[in-house]
Amino acid sequence: MRSVMAAAPIGIAFSNHQKLQLVGREFAALLGHDAEADLVGRPSRDIFASELDYDRLGGQVGKAFEAGQP
């Protein structure tokens, strides 16, 4: 999985239990970080622009995944 993410020209990250678990280089760069390790273990809410965005969109994302939707 890491080699696929390293070769991907887009930002990819995986989270589990609301924490970032696996972060690609491009994803880290999009958020202004030099290293993927800077983000691993951080709360997934950190990738939202604001607490309001997280509160509004975070629940929708969780429901979509539970329902098997994109």
pLDDT tens digits along 29-40? 999 998 888 999
**What are the residues whose beta carbons fall under 8 Å from the beta carbon of 48, sequence distance 6 or more?**
54, 57, 58
Find out whether 24 and 5 touch, Cβ atoms under 8 Å: yes
Residue 5 pLDDT greater than 90, yes or no: no
With 0.75 as the threshold, say if the pTM is over it.
Answer: yes
